[in-house]
Every structure is written in structure tokens, then in C-alpha cells.
Structure 1
Amino acid sequence: MGKFQNDAEALLKNIGGKENVAAVTHCATRMRFVLNDPSKANEKEIENIASVKGMFTNAGQFQIIIGNEVSVFFNDFVAVSGIEGVSKEQSKSIAKKNQNPVQQVVGVLAVIFSPILPAIIIGGLILGFRNILEAVDFGNGTIASNSVFWNGVNEFLWLPGEAIFHFLPVGITWSITRRMKTTQILGIVLGITLVSPQLLNAYSVSSTAAADIPFWDFGFAQIDKIGYQAQVIPAMLAGFMLVYLEKIFRKRIPEAVSMIFVPLFSLIPTIMAAHVLLGPIGWTIGGWISNIVNFGLSSSFNWLFSFIFGAFYAPLVITGLHHTTLAIDYQLIADFGTTSWWPMVFISNIAQGSAVLAVYFLHRGNKKEEQISIPATISAYLGVTEPAMFGINLKYVYPFVAAMIGSAFGSMFITITNTQALSVGVGGLPGFLSFPFQKWPTVFISMAISISVTFILTFIFRKVSFLNKVEPLEAQADDAKSVGETMKNANISVDPSVEKALDFYSPVKGKLIPIENVDDPVFSPKMMGDGFAVVPADQTIYSPIDGTIVSIFQTKHAIGLLADNGIEVLVHMGIDTVALDAKPFSVLISEGEKVSAGTPIATMDTKQVIELGKKTDVIVAITNSNIVQEFDFISANTVDSKQSVGTIVLK
């Protein structure tokens, strides 16, 4: 029996069975499913599986977070399901059927930029480190100017820094051919022709007189020898033309001569088009985009522009559209030498990590959740926010909203102080290295604003009911579980000779309603058990049965009782009142105390409950209804406190 066999069987059942799985694979921490019908996935039951640490849907894939042992889980899943895994590329290809055209375009952009991100990030760190060596002045010069060793390091690091950013088009054209499964070396060659030393460097074009720009002279036409160093859009246009020409000619040219003529007819026309048409058009489009964005971030309304983008960058991550912002960053750096766009991304990532950290403090002791929240916090603070957002923040909603607002204020401050990054870097706490040394104070202040606002709002929003739908349900579900566990630990004996019938009495004066009519998604479907409820017209709550008090919840909103014949009863005062931190309640009894039906056990300030936006229904639920054979409750509209309302009979 495999380590995760039981969990794998439960997962298979709750994703809709073998017939609902179109493809399955895994990455470093997650199972990745392509489901034929995603609506068949029972997320609530999946979340209850012990080894599952979270789930989310992205790029047409239903992804389940397992952790470091995902490969072991995957093997057990394959064994119990009989489903063979596929490669990640195959899974992504199959997942396209669940994506609309916009998602497919974004998916292509994501796959193009993902392979080159490690180089971009390390390049940003290199620039940041060189910035320290060249900018930190001790009064008698910089670190580099005062040290032969550090000056040598500074000059040496220029080499990889230039390779990464100046030759970015090579990485883009290679990545496109890799993604489109065409000849990758042709993509590399195409990229080199865009940044060849024979060409006028793109950074020098603006300072070179038109008459001095070199050109190829074909007699009937002249083509400027202009390079496209650090340019993104020209490289993308050329890369896509290359792969589509190659696919067209590969279908039409005989196999015997395809090795010669497919590369020839694909590469040469693309290089020509890149320098005659695609390059200039791409440069122009990129210039428009960067000028519009730069205008928005440098205008008198930049505070509003940055506030909105800072708030809504995280939702862009959910859709995958955030990958499109990388092209904007690279274009801004190419045109202006710095970017005001990426700093807002950097702040947003920190906000998401801070929200998870706040939830960790709010939920201390929840060992299962800590397995998600702690790594997710670290991950977000290092620039990868998906585990934080999908594992915690979106689940509870209120921390996600808090992070959006924290990011908005941090982004606004970093923009209005004209704090621009030298490059795209690590989108988390180490990201300060990508900024000029002189701007570090405003960077740290922006980070502090984002962290503090997010942290404070997470605590505040937790108490806002429309932002927090999950925690009250979890708390209410735990009510019944806690009653059972408390009774098991209470060493209270149950006398099997006691009458199997048990009379119930109204816990309060008011309107008697069936438990199915309670406006609560936990109690109304009888998830906690059968029973009844009373909309109270009084504030004193009485015991509905003869029994023993076995559980008084810290929030005083619920009391558990055990009858002599083993019936477990939960008296729950109000709906979603666990969030009120005991304010409207007073408990009149203590755990272990024997009570009779009609004994006052608590008071509830109904006026205060209503003012706090909650309903006052007093619910009486039989939490071990499985041992009950017959329920017989009256159907009266109004009842007095301590009035008999029915009888139950055990099996």
C-alpha cells in the first residue's frame, strides 16, 4: 500500500473519477489536472484530504498543492487510478480546450517569457549590486573607485549584465521557437541578427544624426543598419514570423531537401522583414506603449494611475495577464533606462506575502494550514505569489482585498516619489537591490507602507462579514466537531438503561422554525445534524434538555450538552456570531454542570447582535443524529421559553 493511497483514492473520487481526467502531471509541489468537466470537482471534499494543502485553477488546469512529496503522491495516484501521466507540455496543450482565445494568447506570452525570467532576475540583481559599488560614496569616492578588487568585480559583472539585457532579443526569438516546437537554432540566429555588432546599437540611435546612420545599399533601395538591443516587440514579431514560415515550408517542401530549403526560405525572408518592416513597426509600437505608460506614471495623475494598477495587479495574476506587463517593463528600460512599472509589481508581491503572514498569526495553531501559509509567505516575499494567493488569500477573500489596498498605497508612494528601478528583479523583499542606491530610503518606506497597511487591514477585514464567508463556516463546522471531541474527553458515562426517548424544550421565547429554514449554509442542510431553531423574542437562553454541560466555546456563542442517553446537542446562539468575539453573550453555567430542561444557561443581547449585522436565530442541533430513529417536533408558529417542542427516539 502506497503512502498516499487512501488520499489518492479520495482525490480521484472527488475530481469526478477517472473518466473526468483528460490529463494529469505534476510539478515541484502541485498535481496538475486537465478535467473534462471542471464543475465535477468537489473542492470542499478535496480540501479535507489530509495531504492537500490548497487548490486553484489556472491556464485551464486544476492544480492541487501537495508539497515536496508530490512525486510520491503522483505515483500513488497513477497506481490507484490507472491513468498514465503526461508531460507538462502535453498537459498544457490539452488544457487549451478549457481556455478562451484571450487566455490562449496570454498563455503563449507566459511560456515565452518564463524560460528567460531566471536570466532577467539575475541580471537585475547584478545591476543592483553594481549600482551599490558605483553609488555608495564614503566622502572620498565610491566602493569601486576606492578598491582595485571591487572595481575589477564591477567591470567584470558588466559582462553578464550586458549579455542579459543587450541580447534579450536572442532569448525571446529562441524561446518562441522552443514554444512553437520549431528549429531553435534558427531562433537563436535570428536573434543574433537583431543585435549584431555590425549594427548601430539601439541605445545610440537617438544620439546619431540621420546622415550618419549606416545602411545596406542594394542600389534600388537602402536599409538602415539599426540594432534592436533590449527591444521586445521587434523580437517577438520576427520570432513569430520565423516559426510560421518554417511550419508552412515544412509542410510543402519534400523531406529529401527540407534540411536545406526550409531554413533558407524561413530565415532569410524573416531577417529581411525584421530590418525592413517588423523591426521599425515593433519599435514604433513599443515606443507608443512606453510613452503612454511613462506619461501615466509621470503625469499629475500618477498617484491615481499607480494606485489603481497597484491594487489590480494581483487580480491580473489570477487571470495570467500579468505576463504581458513584462514586455512593458523591458520597453521602458530600453527607452528610458529605468522602469516605473515593475516597482508596483514588487510592492504587490510583498503585500500578498504580508496578508498570508497576518492570516498565519490569526490562525496560529492550525497545523494543516501552517504547512501552506509559512512556505507561501516565504515564497511571496521572494517574488512568487501564486501559493500565497491561491492557497490562502483567495480562499478567505479578506486577506486578498487587504493586500490589494496595501499594494495600492505602497505603489502610489513609490510612484509619486519618482522611485524607478534599473531593471526587473526579484519581485519580493530582495527587490530593493534593483533600485538606485539613492532611492533606497523611499523603497523601504514603500515596502513598510505596503506591509503595515496590509497587515492591519487583514485583521480589520476579518470582522467584515461580506469579505469573510469561509471562516465563519469553518468555525461553525468546528462547533459540532468540538462538542464530540470535548465529550469524548470529558469521561462522562452514558447509561444504556436510560430511556431511549428524549424530550426537547424551547430554549427561548419566539418564533419556532424548522432547521431547514435557517439562513445558514451549514445548519440548514443539516450538516451539523437535525434539529430546530427559534427566532428569539427574549434574551435569556434555557437548556433544551436534561443533561450535562460538556462544552462552552471561548466565544460564548455556542454551548454543547450531553443527555444521559448519549444524545449530543449544540445550542448555537445567532448566525455567524463566532466572529463577534463573545461581546453579546454571557454564560450562566460552567462545564461539567448538570442541568435540567429550562435551566438558564446564557443570555444574548439580541439588539447588539442585530446592530453588528448578524441574525439572532437560536439553533438547537443534534450533532449525532445518526443514532436517532425518530424526530417528532411540533409545527407551532410561536413558542414560550421552556415550552415542550418535541421528542426524539434513539435507534
Structure 2
Amino acid sequence: MNMAKYTESAKELLEHIGGNENISVVTHCATRMRFVLNDNDKADKQKIEDMDVVKGTFTNAGQFQIIIGNDVATFYNEFSEIAGVGDTSKEDAKVAAKQNMSFIQRLIANLAEIFTPLIPALVVGGLILGFRNVIGELPNFGPNNDQALVELSQFWSGANDFLWLIGEAIFHFLPVGIVWSITRKMGTTQILGIVLGITLVSPQLLNAYGVAEATEIPFWDFGFATVDMIGYQAQVIPAILAGFVLAYLELGLRKIIPNVISMIFVPLFALLPAVIVAHVILGPIGWVIGDWISNVVYSGLTSAFGWLFAAVFGFAYAPLVITGLHHMTNAIDLQLMSIFEGTNLWPMIALSNIAQGSAVVAMIFLNRRDEKEQQVSIPAAVSCYLGVTEPAMFGINIKYGFPFLAAMIGSSIAAVISVGSGVMANSIGVGGLPGILSIQSAHYLMFGVAMAVAIAVPLVLTFALAKTKMGKNAYERLGK
């Protein structure tokens, strides 16, 4: 495609979107145009989807998104020139999109914005913990196949110890990243967030992992009161609470302290109270809340009714992605890891992603003569198996309906197998086929079985449902 070819398509899209007066903000990502519209009803979704350059549409997080493909940047430049809309940042788009959200949607969007910048580190950490698991805990090596690699080789022993340097930095010192991310999101001073985060994990404090076994808790003695010197390594909720206190203190102080002295007094009067409140009030409260949430989830998954919890979660996770509520699971996973040294929730997420990708694979075969559909479905299946589900779900599965249902059912069955056999992940990881690298080594076999189910069941069900009335109605609705 080239710029000249996009001219007519851009004019056509502008007309179908409701004209430039209906565009509040427009930007783009790797494959999609992202619109925040003044009135979503003015956009003719059917006519837009019928355009040759368009691979699909969906609405998510207050944004109307149009899948263009790899040439989206070129198309965007042509469109913005014709539409007379200026270049706008993704942050501006997010702010504008929130005008179309409910209170709950805004809350979830804020949570997502906190954890999204941390995901690359969390994925790397998960892979490293998985690799350490293989070389440090799998007793399948040596002459009798009963030794771990670290016992056989000084190199692997050293590598195992060295890699923990990164694992500890990512997971034990996670509060530093969380508080930094909050200050970044709120537009406040990021180095103050980093400093506050460090005070939560300082070596001066009793490590969070040593609190349960400690015979005596050290404390600061102020004469009239004492404060326990407890660290919050890997704790999520205390870090979130402390981060928002710091951010709102700084924002408030900026309004009342004159600019000439703000450089001195805003950081001082924001950071000092935030550190005090974090250790005296929010830390202990956040610890209790985090423990409660983690214990409820873990107890639910390991109880006699764990299979039912797993079935419901496996079935409902993909719809949660549509609403954005799935971002809450990041905080729960990280909290589970801090208490139980692993998470039994995350494996189900990886299985759900695999199931959605498998449904798309079935649709690739069913629509093998539809070249336009293949341009969407093949890249969507690949990205889904690598943990990014939105192109698969919005571009194919939800559009047809029946593959989405098939994937949900396959995900539910796979989740029951995973939870029923006690599968645990070391951490959050790559949420697709590579997810097995984050699974604790003792559970590789059963997670492999669950993966096979997450691949096979959606494939078979999608083929089967395509021949039913549900499938035929979907094809008729889409004019295929």
C-alpha cells in the first residue's frame, strides 16, 4: 500500500466515522487506529468494516479501534492530513477516553496504567525464575538421573546464584517499581516515588519474608511511641497506597506553596509525611488487605470447590479482558507470589490465551479462501499464542461469536485440570505457549496436559459449532 492509495480510503473512513467534528482524539498503535469519538453512535461500524483497508473494529476502554495492519502509521498520516486532526499523544488519548468510562472502568484503567509499565520486567523475572527452576530443582540429571544441574556443575551453580540478582531486584524490590509507576502516571516527581519505594524495602528493615519466623521485631523508639521496622518486599497493596498518598500530597502542595520556594518545600513536605504514613498506617493496613485477598483466592482454588472456581474463572477470563477487569489479576498474582512463593491463578490466564489462539487457528482453516480474513487471523493467532489476545478476540472470535464461546469452554476445562492437579507458576510470565517456562518444574507434566486441552478443545468445538445454527447465523450476519 502507498500514500496515494490511502487518499480515497481516508476520505471514506472520515465520512463513516462521522466527520472530523465527531473526532475528539485520534492516535495509533502498531496495527490499529485509536479514536475517542464525541458520539460513538455516529460511527457506521458496518460500513467501516466493509472497507478494503479495514481488518476489523472493536471498542475498548472508551476507544473505538480500527484494525488496519502493519501500514497503520502511513494510513494514519494520510488520514490526519485529510481529516485536519493534529498529532496527539497516546496519553492525551487515554485522558480523553476516560470521559467515556464509568467510575469502575476508570478505576480499572488506572490500575492498568500502574502495572503496564512494569510488565516487561515481570515477564523477564518470570522467565529467569523458570530457568532457575530448571537448573536448580529438576532432579533429572547425572548418572542416576537424580541430581539437579547445580549439583553437577559449578558453572550452573554460579549461574543460578547470579540470576537471583535479577529475580530479587524485580520481585522483592517490586514496591520501588510500583511507586515509581504511580508518580509517572500522576505526573509528579518520579525520583521521590523511587525514594519512597526504597524506604519500603530498605536493608535496615526486617525483610517481609522473615517476619513470620522472627522472634523479635525491631522498632523505632520515639519515646512516646514505637513503630515496627518491617519491610514490604514484594508487597503490592502497601506500595499502591503509599504511592498515591505521595502523589496527592505533592499535587496539593504545588497549589499552595509559592513557586520561588517550591523546589525545597514541595519535595520535603510530600516525601516525609508519605514515608511516615506508609510505615505507621498504610503498610500494616495494606499488608492485612493483601493477605486477606491472597488467602481468599488461594483457599478458593485449593478447597474442595477449587474446580468450580477454576471452571468459572477459566470461562470468564476472556470476557474480563473485554471489560479491562483482567488487570486486577496482576495485583492478585503478585500478592500470591509474596505469600505462597508462587501463583495458582496465573496458569489459568496463560491457558485462556492459548484457547483463544486455538479458536482462531480453527477459523484460519474455515476461512482459508478468504484472503482478507487471513490477513487478520494468522497474525492474531501468532500473537495470541505469545500472550497478546486482543487482535484474536476482537478481530476474529468476538466478531463471529461461536469461536469465542469455544475458546471459553476449552479454557474452562483446561483451568479445572490445572487447578485440580495443583499447578503453580513461579510468577507472571509470557501468557501463551511460552508460559510453561514460568511453571514450577514439578508441574510441567500436568500443565502440558492442560495446554493440550486448551489447544484441542477450542479447535474441535470451533469446527463443530461452525456447522450448527449458531455458526451459520454468524456467517449470514457477516455476509460470508
TM class by shorter-chain length?
over 0.9
**1:29 corresponds to which residue?**
31
Q: What is the CA distance between 1:473 and its match in structure 2?
A: 3.3
**2:188 corresponds to which residue?**
182
**1:416 corresponds to which residue?**
420
**2:200 corresponds to which residue?**
194
**1:78 corresponds to which residue?**
80
How far, CA to CA, are the matches of 1:2 and 1:207 in structure 2? Answer: 70
How far, CA to CA, are the matches of 1:311 and 1:62 in structure 2? Answer: 26
Residue pairs, 1:485-564, within 5 angstroms = none
**2:101 corresponds to which residue?**
99
CA displacement, residues 136-183 of structure 1 (integer Å, 9 cap, x when unaligned)? 322252112212222222111111111000010011000001111111
How far, CA to CA, are the matches of 1:449 and 1:103 in structure 2? Answer: 33
How far, CA to CA, are the matches of 1:375 and 1:150 in structure 2? Answer: 37
**2:157 corresponds to which residue?**
151
Pick one of 88, 91, 95 that aligns with 1:89: 91
How far, CA to CA, are the matches of 2:82 and 2:448 in structure 1? Answer: 51
Pick one of 434, 439, 455 that aligns with 2:438: 434
Q: What is the CA distance between 1:469 and its match in structure 2?
A: 3.4
The residue matched to 2:277 in structure 1 has which SS? helix
**1:377 corresponds to which residue?**
381
Q: What is the CA distance between 1:269 and its match in structure 2?
A: 0.5
How far, CA to CA, are the matches of 1:140 and 1:383 in structure 2? Answer: 34
**2:56 matched to 1:54?**
yes
**2:137 corresponds to which residue?**
135
Residue pairs, 1:165-180, within 5 angstroms = 165-180=171-186
Pick one of 400, 407, 417 that aligns with 1:403: 407
Q: What is the CA distance between 1:6 and its match in structure 2?
A: 1.5
**2:441 matched to 1:454?**
no
CA displacement, residues 184-243 of structure 1 (integer Å, 9 cap, x when unaligned)? 11111110000011111101111112xx11111101111010000000000000001111
Conserved 8 A contact 1:351-1:451: yes
How far, CA to CA, are the matches of 1:473 and 1:282 in structure 2? Answer: 50
Q: Which moved more, 1:136-145 or 1:274-283?
A: 136-145
**2:314 matched to 1:310?**
yes
Give the RMSD, CA atoms, in angstroms: 1.1
**1:625 corresponds to which residue?**
none
CA displacement, residues 317-355 of structure 1 (integer Å, 9 cap, x when unaligned)? 000000011111011110111111111101100000001
Pick one of 259, 262, 267 that aligns with 1:263: 267
The residue matched to 1:469 in structure 2 has which SS? helix
**1:327 corresponds to which residue?**
331
How far, CA to CA, are the matches of 2:357 and 2:22 in structure 1? Answer: 34
The residue matched to 1:2 in structure 2 has which SS? helix
Distance of aligned partners of 1:306 and 1:271 in 2 relative to their CA distance in 1, 3 Å threshold: same
Q: What is the CA distance between 1:4 and its match in structure 2?
A: 1.3
How far, CA to CA, are the matches of 1:54 and 1:268 in structure 2? Answer: 51
Conserved 8 A contact 1:31-1:66: yes
The residue matched to 2:24 in structure 1 has which SS? strand
Query: Which ranges of 4 or more aligned residues in structure 1 deviate by more than 4 Å?
Result: none
Give the residue type in structure 1 aligned to 2:248.
Y
How far, CA to CA, are the matches of 2:158 and 2:448 in structure 1? Answer: 29
Q: What is the CA distance between 1:468 and its match in structure 2?
A: 5.4
Conserved 8 A contact 1:396-1:469: no
Q: Which has the higher strand share?
A: 1
Q: What is the CA distance between 1:435 and its match in structure 2?
A: 1.2
Q: What is the CA distance between 1:82 and its match in structure 2?
A: 1.2
Residue identity over aligned pairs, in percent, reads 58
How far, CA to CA, are the matches of 2:127 and 2:375 in structure 1? Answer: 30
Give the number of the structure whose alpha-carbon radius of gyration is greater.
Answer: 1
**2:362 corresponds to which residue?**
358
Give the residue type in structure 1 aligned to 2:34.
R
Distance of aligned partners of 1:220 and 1:406 in 2 relative to their CA distance in 1, 3 Å threshold: same
**1:8 corresponds to which residue?**
10
**1:498 corresponds to which residue?**
none
Conserved 8 A contact 1:397-1:468: no
Distance of aligned partners of 1:17 and 1:470 in 2 relative to their CA distance in 1, 3 Å threshold: farther
Conserved 8 A contact 1:398-1:468: no
The residue matched to 1:197 in structure 2 has which SS? coil
Q: What is the CA distance between 1:103 and its match in structure 2?
A: 0.5
Conserved 8 A contact 1:414-1:446: yes
CA displacement, residues 347-383 of structure 1 (integer Å, 9 cap, x when unaligned)? 1000000011111011112111111111110111011
Q: What is the CA distance between 1:119 and its match in structure 2?
A: 0.2
**1:108 corresponds to which residue?**
110
**2:220 matched to 1:216?**
yes
The residue matched to 2:234 in structure 1 has which SS? coil
Give the residue type in structure 2 aligned to 1:185.
I
**1:391 corresponds to which residue?**
395
The residue matched to 1:370 in structure 2 has which SS? helix
Distance of aligned partners of 1:342 and 1:62 in 2 relative to their CA distance in 1, 3 Å threshold: same
Pick one of 220, 230, 233 that aligns with 2:237: 233
How far, CA to CA, are the matches of 1:135 and 1:239 in structure 2? Answer: 37
Gaps of 5+ in 2: none
Conserved 8 A contact 1:351-1:403: yes
How far, CA to CA, are the matches of 1:230 and 1:456 in structure 2? Answer: 41
The residue matched to 1:345 in structure 2 has which SS? helix
Give the residue type in structure 2 aligned to 1:346.
A
Q: What is the CA distance between 1:467 and its match in structure 2?
A: 5.7
Give the residue type in structure 2 aligned to 1:447.
M
How far, CA to CA, are the matches of 2:291 and 2:448 in structure 1? Answer: 31
How far, CA to CA, are the matches of 2:15 and 2:472 in structure 1? Answer: 29
How far, CA to CA, are the matches of 2:175 and 2:199 in structure 1? Answer: 9
The residue matched to 2:53 in structure 1 has which SS? coil
Conserved 8 A contact 1:26-1:70: yes
Residue pairs, 1:568-587, within 5 angstroms = none
Q: Which has the higher helix share?
A: 2
How far, CA to CA, are the matches of 1:145 and 1:8 in structure 2? Answer: 63
Gaps of 5+ in 1: 479-651
**2:46 corresponds to which residue?**
44
Conserved 8 A contact 1:349-1:381: yes
**1:513 corresponds to which residue?**
none
TM-score (normalised: structure 2): 0.97
Q: Which has the higher contact order (CA 8 A, sep 6+)?
A: 2
Pick one of 469, 474, 477 that aligns with 2:473: 469
Distance of aligned partners of 1:217 and 1:468 in 2 relative to their CA distance in 1, 3 Å threshold: farther
The residue matched to 1:426 in structure 2 has which SS? coil
